[in-house]
Amino acid sequence: MPIRSSPQAEPLKQGLSRRDFATLAMAGAASLALPAPAAAQSLAGTTPRTPSTLIRVDKRTPRLWRITIANPPFNLIVPELVSALHAVVVDIERDPELRVVVFDSSIEGYFINHFDLGKAQDFPMLPGNPATPVWVDLVMRLSRLPVISIASIRGRTRGGGNEFTLACDLRYASVEQAWFGQPEVGTGILPGGGASERLPRLVGRDRALEVILSSQDYRGADAERLGMVTRALPDAELDAFVEALSTRLASFDKQSLAGAKAQVNRATLPPDADLHAAYAEYSNSLTWPGFQAQRPRMGKLAAEHGPAELERRLGHYIGQSKLK
């Protein structure tokens, strides 16, 4: 399925220039003070159908793959990463033997972080009438794969990264080293990758509103209490637990695994149209005055504290930016 590499989404064309996007504060806030992160060095392991230095696909067995994400320094979601993940998910979908995939990260302190809005104009689209954002197709495919997807989460998992984990079937988090959040509303925009559609089904309406409206970071134990993750485990136990569970599931019959997942999907997945609508609403929100007002505030915070500190405690500093 071909991917258009440089879309010009209509709301974005009407509201912001390419120069505007290059200076958006939420390009990790880091892009205001640092050059664009260099792609990770090529990693050992089996490469996906569309090779990328940002991910490694380790085919542990014909039935079990581990997919590791690496976009230093903050594991921001950039267009290349979206395209690479989409290619891998298509490969997963087509593999007749595969039962289980595990997603993890090799970047200390970050699982999958938020969208790099400095590159928002370049997020890929699948051609069609209308065109489909690759991100939307990616998370819908991930939820419907005839394969069980497991997120093994250490580090910060915010915005689009959290929405990616919500599209996975099972989410296991480190108590000490996992944080979750949806920072969009606090920066003047809307979630667009599935949080507004999936969180209410997982945690209930009021808790979903708290997570989305507050734009706070939640530790692994709090995320488990709210229902955002399947289970939070002591960091020292996380790898062994995920390894044992993924190996166990991979030993089962593929048809029964896929059939049981399809039954649960029937009762729980949001309508496709809602995911498409949310992405369009997110794109349009990038033109809102509130987001424009936040840009200099976030830039000031990045200058005062440094981009690494701002990313590390983004939920905290989003609240602080309103006071200045």
Could you tell me the fold of the domain covering 10-239+251-321? Answer: 2-enoyl-CoA Hydratase; Chain A, domain 1 (3.90.226)
What was the pLDDT predicted at 4? 56
Using 50, 70 and 90 to split pLDDT, how confident is the model at 17? very low
Please state the pTM of the whole predicted model: 0.85
CA nearest to 144, candidates 112, 172, 169:
169
Using 50, 70 and 90 to split pLDDT, how confident is the model at 323? very low
Measured CA to CA, the distance from residue 106 to residue 73 in angstroms comes to 11
Measured CA to CA, the distance from residue 115 to residue 122 in angstroms comes to 12
Average pLDDT, the chain: 86
Segment 286-305 mean pLDDT:
88
**21 has a pLDDT exceeding 90:** no
Least confident of 2-16, 54-68, 179-193, 267-281: 2-16
| Contact between 178 and 233 (Cβ < 8 Å) | no
State the DSSP code for 121: G
Which tens digit of pLDDT belongs to each residue from 308-317? Answer: 898 999 988 8
Using 50, 70 and 90 to split pLDDT, how confident is the model at 125? very high
Domain residue extents for the chain: 10-239+251-321
Segment 202-221 mean pLDDT:
97
Assigned token pair, 91? 């490969």
| Contact between 143 and 265 (Cβ < 8 Å) | yes
Least confident of 13-27, 196-210, 246-260: 13-27
User: Residue 44 corresponds to which amino acid?
Assistant: A
Highest mean pLDDT: which range of 34-38, 142-146, 303-307: 142-146
**222 has a pLDDT exceeding 90:** yes
SS3 assignment for 161-194: HHHHHHHCCEEEEEEEEEEEECCCHHHCCCCCCC
| Contact between 16 and 286 (Cβ < 8 Å) | yes
